[in-house]
Amino acid sequence: MTQDKSENERLNLNPIDNNPCGICRANGLAICKGHGGSSDSSDGDPAITDKSGASDKTIPKMLHTSFQENPLWLPDAEEFVFEWHNEESIMSIKADIGTGSVIISGIDGVSDSHEKAQAELLTAIENEFNQFIEELAGAGVSVDGMRATHIGNELKIIIPNKTCYDAFMQRLIDKNLLITHSAARALDVKFSMELAGGQSTALQNPMTALEEIQRRTNIPGIATAMISDKGFTTQSVGVVANAKNPSEVTDSTVFEAASLSKPVFAYIVLKLAKEEKIDLDLPLYKYGDFGPRSMITHPNYEKLTARMILSHQAGLPNEFNPPKVPVDYISPAGEKFDYSGEAYCFLAEVVERVSSKSLEILAQDAFKKIGMTNTSFMPPTGCSLIRFRDEQEPTSETVKNLLENESDKHGQLSIIYHRDKLFVAERAADGSVTISERNSSQTEESSLQKIKARFAEIPEFLWSKPIPIEARELPLVTTIVSGCHLIKMPEKPISDSLIKTNKNQYIIAENELWYFDASKRSIEKLTALQNKSMQSLLSTLKFEENHPATKEELELITSYTGHIFVGYPPKHAATIAIGHYQDGSVNPTQRFYGVHPAGSLYATASDYAKFLNACITEPYIKDEMFKPVSVGCGLIKMSTDPSQDTFENIKNLLNNKDAVILFNDKLYYADINSKTVTTITLTDSNHGDFNSLKEKFTDSYKLVDKIELELITSVTGVDSVTNPLINGAGL
């Protein structure tokens, strides 16, 4: 008995092709797994189980961990984009956990039956998405930005909400529409809706990838921004750890960016270069002296360029410890990588000179165009310290002039030290400045001594200049400026008349007591006073037009009202996350004395993403930041034929760089990486540059300049290059 052709073909097919379920066939499975929903089956893979004995159910893993641990999902370098790799499948799947997208595509060039299987899977996933959206909307969860686009054999789904994205992906896995062969079940729709609506606690829901990082590293708060060709998304977890007033990390939380300041400074320099206000390859001394006098006599000094400094080839150390700045060079300029924040400070001097602007003003000009509204090279605490010289007087006018170029983010309030006295200067919205002296009748003596000790550390060359107060110093500052005023008014107070003040105020008007909370910008009428007589309080306190309460009066007010004055930052201060020890304390000695181009940036995660996006979308910046930059190439004369010698014998002459060698009127190119020496051929096209290059040689080894490098490139066709500038700039 013979079989017909179609039956013969069917029996010789791959077992997967015998699977009648198109969905599983598209996923490369020989047996249908069923698509009705999650089950207790673990597909034979090990599960994370509850070892307490309280339950025999599997404990869910988060989606990111599930993908990381699964060999079918291959991550990119950052491990937020995963591609599904299954040789048996006729589908391509790319999941971007960072942006909340998944793209499922059918592989081209397959048979008609496989095309039907692809269409069956895509339709099933699209239907699942539509049902998921209906369930979310029915539960009152926002579905803004969630969409599915099905064109041909490709389906793209966007779910920006991280929790809902995880839930949907896990739903596809549970229904075997996506195959992971993992027992992990991260989130179900019920939990995702509760979490998205803020109705559940962390204990009731599995942690996201960011929460898992936070848990494992014991970091109080984290903010991230992820960039794609569609823009960027932000995520944050945790709190700004402050024992008195913890606050949630959000998009507006400002972080100390540390060495991520360097790429931002590089961007500012490149903007000036694009405007032809500075030449990246012109020796900086030609713009005028910079740095300490002791560094000017060194041979490196006249070689230093902006490009060398930005790519960490200045030969300078990294330390920065004013006023005693170490300036000993540690290598020849332009010859090797030596990470140096100190060199950035010297370049900043030149930048301010050629632009006639301070670095902070230059930065704000750039930030405004990018949309970086919460970024500054100075801590946005709203505060500054000013130590006046003895011969000067801290008047409203002198302080106003000193703060003329300071924004409210940095100079709305100033603590002033003069002849062992402390003053607080506050700048109003109209620019006027009021000054009041602070003494032990208003502030604890210990706080006064601490702030005076802080002033004693300020180098003399920074006296009579506003020094930004860093976030870690705010607790001390607020003890100086905290407290309240006692005010007598002829009629009922209104908040509009008090909005300019930065002090809590108790106001007596029409024989009633009112309280203005400066931190909340709110006013309330006080009726109940801890079961004590209103008249007793009013008769004891001294109400005048504007009277700062003494310590004794504050204690009395507290006993009547229950209000406790622990200090508060100025109204323009940002919420700033600072480096904490494990016990929540900070090191108050680690500080800058002003703008530091290599380390004093303050920024939000979303602002930094805007900056990076500008780097890759502005053509000139992108070209300069990411193109390979010259590490230098040497010129050297030899008395022996380099082509007849071993590379090992000549490499010590090359200073670890490629070099052009002149011997008997011939030119040779030594390649340090391939360890080869080749003859540079003289041709009709390179004849002029060939002879020009020979004239550049001296009796000793020399590092080529920009013009000589162009000649080498012309006669050899070889660029001597290394890492992009942005790598040297700190990324």
Span 56-64, mean pLDDT? 45
Nearest CA to 308 out of 334, 277, 336, 278 is that of 334
Q: Provide the pLDDT for residue 261.
A: 92
Q: Provide the pLDDT for residue 47.
A: 28
Q: Provide the pLDDT for residue 548.
A: 67
Rounded CA gap, 471 and 378, in Å? 10
Q: Which ranges of 69-161 does DSSP label H, i.e. alpha helix?
A: 112-138
Domain with CATH 3.30.505 in the chain: 383-481
Q: Are 597 and 265 in contact (CB under 8 A)?
A: yes
Lowest-pLDDT choice from 137-146, 269-278, 527-536, 702-711: 527-536
pLDDT at 131 over 70: yes
Rounded CA gap, 396 and 400, in Å? 6
Lowest-pLDDT choice from 372-381, 517-526, 584-593: 584-593
pLDDT at 253 over 60: yes
Q: Provide the pLDDT for residue 256.
A: 84
Q: Provide the pLDDT for residue 361.
A: 86
Q: Provide the pLDDT for residue 534.
A: 67
Q: Provide the pLDDT for residue 319.
A: 65
Q: Provide the pLDDT for residue 592.
A: 58
Q: Provide the pLDDT for residue 567.
A: 43
Q: Provide the pLDDT for residue 627.
A: 67
Q: Provide the pLDDT for residue 46.
A: 29
Q: What is the dihedral of CA 625, 299, 318, 263, to 10 degrees?
A: -10
pLDDT at 582 over 50: no
Q: How many CB atoms lie within 10 A of CB 533?
A: 10
Q: Provide the pLDDT for residue 544.
A: 64
Residues in a beta bridge with 601: 258
pLDDT at 16 over 60: no
Span 26-32, mean pLDDT? 66
Span 169-189, mean pLDDT? 59
Span 452-461, mean pLDDT? 84
Span 254-267, mean pLDDT? 90
Lowest-pLDDT choice from 105-109, 126-130, 458-462, 520-524: 520-524
Lowest-pLDDT choice from 51-60, 228-237, 372-381, 699-708: 51-60
Q: Provide the pLDDT for residue 426.
A: 79
Q: Provide the pLDDT for residue 279.
A: 93
The beta strands (E) that lie in 398-502 are given as 413-418, 421-427, 433-438, 467-468, 484-488
Q: Provide the pLDDT for residue 50.
A: 31
Span 103-122, mean pLDDT? 85
Q: How confident is the model at residue 34 (pLDDT cuts 50, 70, 90)?
A: low
Tell me which of 267 and 188 has the higher pLDDT. 267
pLDDT at 80 over 60: yes
pLDDT at 13 over 50: no
**Residue holding tokens 């940002």?**
574
Nearest CA to 722 out of 625, 632, 660 is that of 632
Q: Which ranges of 82-205 does DSSP label H, i.e. alpha helix?
A: 112-138, 162-174, 189-196
Tell me which of 511 and 585 has the higher pLDDT. 511
Span 456-477, mean pLDDT? 78
Q: Name the burial class of residue 321, with classes exposed (0-12), middle (13-18) and buried (19+) by CB atoms within 10 angstroms of its CB.
A: exposed
How high is the mean pLDDT of the chain? 74
Q: How confident is the model at residue 545 (pLDDT cuts 50, 70, 90)?
A: low
Tell me which of 373 and 554 has the higher pLDDT. 373
Q: Are 230 and 85 in contact (CB under 8 A)?
A: no
pLDDT tens track for 403-432: 877 766 666 778 889 998 888 887 777 778
CA distances from 235 to 49, 97, 147, 255, 546 (A): 29, 12, 20, 14, 46
- Please state whether the predicted TM-score (pTM) of the whole model is above 0.75: no
pLDDT at 322 over 90: no
Q: Provide the pLDDT for residue 107.
A: 86
Q: Are 286 and 315 in contact (CB under 8 A)?
A: no
Q: How confident is the model at residue 648 (pLDDT cuts 50, 70, 90)?
A: confident
Q: How confident is the model at residue 443 (pLDDT cuts 50, 70, 90)?
A: low
pLDDT at 204 over 50: no
**Looking at domain 383-481, which CATH architecture does it have?**
2-Layer Sandwich (3.30)
Lowest-pLDDT choice from 323-327, 469-473, 487-491: 323-327
pLDDT at 69 over 60: yes
Most confident of 56-60, 226-230, 264-268: 264-268
Q: Provide the pLDDT for residue 4.
A: 40
Rounded CA gap, 357 and 513, in Å? 50
Rounded CA gap, 29 and 16, in Å? 6
pLDDT at 354 over 90: yes
Q: What percent of the chain has pLDDT over 90?
A: 14
Q: Are 603 and 223 in contact (CB under 8 A)?
A: no
pLDDT at 639 over 50: yes
Tell me which of 605 and 498 has the higher pLDDT. 605
Span 143-167, mean pLDDT? 89
Q: Provide the pLDDT for residue 655.
A: 75
Q: How confident is the model at residue 517 (pLDDT cuts 50, 70, 90)?
A: confident
Q: Provide the pLDDT for residue 499.
A: 53
Lowest-pLDDT choice from 168-182, 185-199, 538-552, 695-709: 185-199
Domain with CATH 3.40.710.10 in the chain: 218-380+574-582+590-627
Rounded CA gap, 542 and 549, in Å? 8
Span 33-37, mean pLDDT? 53
How many helices (H) and strands (E) the chain has is answered by 23, 29
Q: What secondary structure, in 3-state letters, does 233-269 show?
A: EEEEEEEECCCCCCEECCCCCEEEEECCHHHHHHHHH
Q: Provide the pLDDT for residue 473.
A: 73
**Looking at domain 218-380+574-582+590-627, which CATH architecture does it have?**
3-Layer(aba) Sandwich (3.40)
pLDDT at 156 over 90: yes
